Structure 1
Amino acid sequence: MRIGVNYVPSQHWYYCWLDWDATSIARDLDAVAALEVDHIRIQCIWPWFQPNPAWVSPVMLDRLEQLLDLAGERDLQVCVTVLNGWLSGFDFRPAWLLDTATETQRNIFTDPWVIAAQQHLLAAVCERTADHPALWGYDVGNEPNVLTAWNPADEATLDAWCTAMVATISEHAPRAHVVIGVDQRPWINDEPSPSPELLASTGSMAAVHAWPWFSGALTRFGEQGSLRVADFLVQVALASQPDGVRPVWVQELGVAPEWVSDPTGYAGDLLAATVATPSVEGITWWCSHDVDRRFSAFANLEYELGLLTVGNELKPIGKVFAELAEQVRSGGTTAPEPRRAALVLPPDRIPDLDVMAVWLQQPEPMALVRAERRHDAAYLAGRGIEQLVALPAG
């Protein structure tokens, strides 16, 4: 199991691309490496990397390459998240999305001209970094489904967009891992999103963002029940696959101090529950560093999500994380038990929090199986499932 952090630069947040300070980033990565992690996930900002649809900034590509150099020197592998129009509550829209002839915003999921520009950016990033020894892989974009709020698109269109973006990366970086880092909504809500089937089966693995608060699990189930939010999302992703055996990456997992009574203890329990989930390829905590309070306009919770302070001091929550990371890397954690029983999802039933409530009430941890697969003996045998439990009506 991989274990890592979403890197948030301590001194300049991701404004660092504009105000580059390799020395402070090197200090940050020294502190990150000391957490016993093996990888980081980083965020490019779309309008800064591609200020014009026909031009990708060579300065930004140079800085990206230097960041990979610095990570590699510390034995950290890197997932590069490329098409970031959304990050930490902020909307990053390239100015050229405005169609000056009509005074309207071009739709990033449906406009062929914009899609071609996006593919140009992906290709440029891949061509510069695909052979870098520190590269783990690419994430198409951070929670791109959020952007449907101002770029309306139906499921089929979003599936086609995801397929095209993954294909572009695979063409230019055929040996790299590729994922689509959506938030929790495509898995457990009926909102405009790529389909769970597409997300679970396209690219190298499915990626889930398992936030206890944003998912609604913490409000619905309290601190104890919400500890298994990543487990539930992983089971949804596995049930959405054709065979149910591809690994899943818990790409974002984290807790804000304002959400729970004991953030450090809760974080340790949340991590332990996630490590104990079968089929997890990796866990990537959000995030490495707090956000410096000299920057205004962030939501209050964003300022204290880090394992480290802006001065690279280890926080109590960072100590708990580092201890678990060391156990994972040294093989000191027990391998998760495979799930022999599964809760059956009726046709067209969304695996929402109502389903999670029933799933949590089961006497043993369970997988999920869609109803159309319940009589498929080869499928069930491939997943090791021996017992099926019906979901109560209603």
Structure 2
Amino acid sequence: MTTPQDLPAEHGRAPRFGVNYTPSKGWFHHWLDFDLDAVRADLDSIAALDLDHVRVFPLWPVFQPNRTLIRPRAVEQLVALVDAAAERGLDVAVDGLQGHLSSFDFRPSWTLTWHRRNMFTDPEVLDGQAAYLRTLAAALAGRPTFLGMTLGNEINQFSGDPHPDPDRITPAEAESWLRHMLAACERGAPGRLHLHAEYDAAWYLDDHPFTPAQAARIGAVTAVHSWVFNGTAQRYGPDSVATGQHAAYLVELSKAWADDPGRPVWLQEVGAPAPHIAADRAAAFTRTTVEAALDCQDLWGITWWCSHDVDRSLADFPELEYSLGLLTTDGAVKPAGRALAEAVAEARARAHRPLPRSTALVLDLSDDAPKRSTCSPGGAFFEAYMRLAADGARPTAVLASRASDRDHLTARGITETVTVDDVGRA
């Protein structure tokens, strides 16, 4: 059984390598017409890449169409998927409150319109969410290949701008919600890898209610989602240091807020979005991104987005969503898929012992980080970090409040601290 204590890559063991499972037939709408044979075929094509886990996404309104109805048949189908994955040597991480996927929102009707209630603060909604997460976790608790629950996919996007109709909350309310929901997962499946995961507003957007400190201190591991369509590729170019290092940057940025110097970090989503990364550059981007991430200590694993392309018979997706798969809809391996499989094989064949990052860029932000846009593409901290990376310094990040804490610096292997102004004058 996998436990949180087993999680960091230690003693030369390579991190975990997996994929976010996007069904080739029907996308995530496949839960409405669940076909286990089709799922098995998809899992066969994933296992052939020699990956070791998948992250899967129940659709919240399908599984819990009423606040007091969690459909037993839907839960049985999720268990069947986990069992099918196990037969192919794949562990499974499950996201619960879906939530938001590929530009579409999936919220049950009992939280909307005539029944509109704040999904993060309303007591009845909280009770319904907790019951749902606990039920999914409990159904899988006896499966040794069940890794654990993520509360939901980038659910922070419902909490504020730029969502067109957010349920606004404060950072204190966000933290209360996170702890409540993680406790429900733990009650359902004690000791598993239960965590939360935000899109990069948590790291980059001023005054966002979900904060970096919450991401780096609450839950079994820190999750980061790295997407270079956030302005990185547009501003710096597809072949730039900033684009190739973006995932590693988020891993290292998260460590600035972590109380535990060795806290594991999961690169839970990363992909090669066209046209920002052209199809003929996807394989090179994949290799560069994986190599950079593997140079980070305490990396739990890399989970690529996503397994299969979206079928173009499905309408209204943003164009980039159709081609993010490592595999086509008929299971053929794409260049990025081959590149990932090769990178996985190489990583497993060599001892994985990245050296400490001895140079730390000082980040002058508080725990609630109201003005965190300095960390975003174009921000002063981001640009200073990437200048250091381009010079081969292998930088990490440290909060200004810890920059003189010798015990903290020593625990992280940091021997030199530099400021944004220092880098600007270099």
Shorter-normalised TM-score: what interval?
over 0.9
Structure 2 residue runs without a partner (length 5+): 1-14
Partner of 1:65: 79
What is aligned with 1:290? 309
Deviations 1:205-247 (A, max 9, x none): 0000011113x22122222221111111111211111133201
SS in 2 for 1:192: coil
**Structure 1 residue aligned with 2:4:** none
Does residue 1:356 correspond to 2:382, yes or no? yes
SS of the residue aligned with 2:152? strand
How far 1:264 moved relative to its partner?
2.2
SS of residue paired to 1:142: coil
CA distance in 2, matches of 1:270, 1:13: 26
Greater share of residues in strand: 1
- How many Å separate the matches in 2 of 1:83 and 1:230? 25
Q: Would you say the 8 A contact 1:184–1:209 is kept in 2? A: yes
1:342–1:367 contact (8 Å) kept in structure 2: yes
Shift of 1:285: 0.3
Q: Is contact 1:200–1:238 with CA below 8 Å preserved after alignment?
A: yes
- Kindly indicate whether the alpha-carbon contact (under 8 Å) linking 2:95 and 2:151 is maintained by their aligned counterparts in 1: yes
- 1:217 aligned residue (232, 235, 256): 232
2:330 and 2:350 map into 1 onto residues whose CA distance is 30
Q: TM-score, normalised by structure 2?
A: 0.88
Question: Residue 190 of structure 2: which of 168, 171, 174 is its match?
Answer: 174
Contact 2:234 2:276 survives alignment (8 Å): no
1:244 corresponds, among 230, 252, 261, to: 261
| Residue 404 (structure 2) pairs with residue 375 (structure 1) | yes
Q: 1:33 to 1:280 in 2, by over 3 A?
A: same
Which amino acid letter does the alignment assign opposite residue 4 of structure 1?
A: G
Distance 2:273 2:396 in 1: 28
Alpha carbons of 1:98 and 1:258: their partners in 2 closer, same or farther (altered >3 Å)? closer
Which amino acid counterpart does residue 201 of structure 2 have in structure 1?
A: R
The CA deviation string for residues 318-373 of structure 1, in whole angstroms up to 9 with x for no partner, is 11111112223x33365322101101112446233321110111130111110111
Deviations 1:256-298 (A, max 9, x none): 2311242222222222222222221100000000011111111
1:91 matched to 2:105? The reply is yes
Identity percentage of aligned residues: 35
Q: 3-state DSSP class of the match of 1:392?
A: helix
Aligned to 2:276: 259
User: Would you say the 8 A contact 1:153–1:192 is kept in 2?
Assistant: no
Equivalent residue runs for 1:247-326 within 5 Å: 247-261=264-278, 262-326=281-345
CA distance in 2 between counterparts of 1:282 and 1:315 reads 22
- 3-state SS of 1:297 partner: coil
Alignment partner for residue 356 of structure 2, among 321, 325, 338?
Answer: 338
Q: Take 2:419 and 2:305, find their aligned partners in 1: how far apart are those partners?
A: 35
Q: Match of 1:120?
A: 131
Moved more, 349-358 or 7-16: 349-358
Structure 1 CA distance for aligned equivalents of residues 365 and 52 of structure 2:
40
- Matched with 2:178 is 162
Within the candidate set 60, 63, 83, 1:46 is matched to: 60
Compute the displacement of 1:123 (Å).
1.1
Measure the CA separation in 1 of the matches of 2:176 and 2:234: 34
User: How many angstroms apart in 2 are the aligned matches of 1:385 and 1:65?
Assistant: 45
Q: State the one-letter code of the partner of 2:308.
A: H
SS class of match (2:328): coil
Quote the Cα distance in structure 2 between the aligned partners of 1:199 and 1:164: 15
C-alpha distance in structure 2 between counterparts of 1:186 and 1:298, whole Å? 24
Change (3 A) 1:366 1:168: same
- Among residues 33, 38, 41, which one is paired with 2:47 in the alignment? 33
Give secondary structure in 1 for the equivalent of 2:398: strand
For structure 1, the 5+ residue unaligned runs are: none
Q: Which amino acid aligns with 2:394?
A: P
After superposition, the CA RMSD in angstroms is 1.6
**Counterpart AA for 1:376:** D
Partner residue of 2:10? none
Size of the aligned set, in residue pairs, is: 389
AA at the equivalent of 2:184: T
Cα contact 2:137–2:148 (8 A) shared by 1: no
Q: What does the per-residue CA deviation read over 1:6-49, in whole Å, with 9 as the maximum and x for residues that have no partner? A: 00011121111111111111011011001111100000111111
Matched residues in 1 for 2:414 and 2:289: separation?
25
In the aligned structure 2, how far is the partner of 1:193 from the partner of 1:66? 37
The answer to whether the Cα contact below 8 Å between 1:39 and 1:78 also exists between their aligned partners in 2 is: yes
Task: Say whether 1:129 aligns with 2:158.
Answer: no
Q: Is the 8 A contact 2:268 2:303 kept in 1?
A: yes
* In 2, Cα distance between equivalents of 1:218 and 1:98: 36
* 8 Å Cα contact 2:22-2:309 kept in structure 1: yes
1:108 aligned onto 2:137? no
The residue aligned with 1:153 is: 169
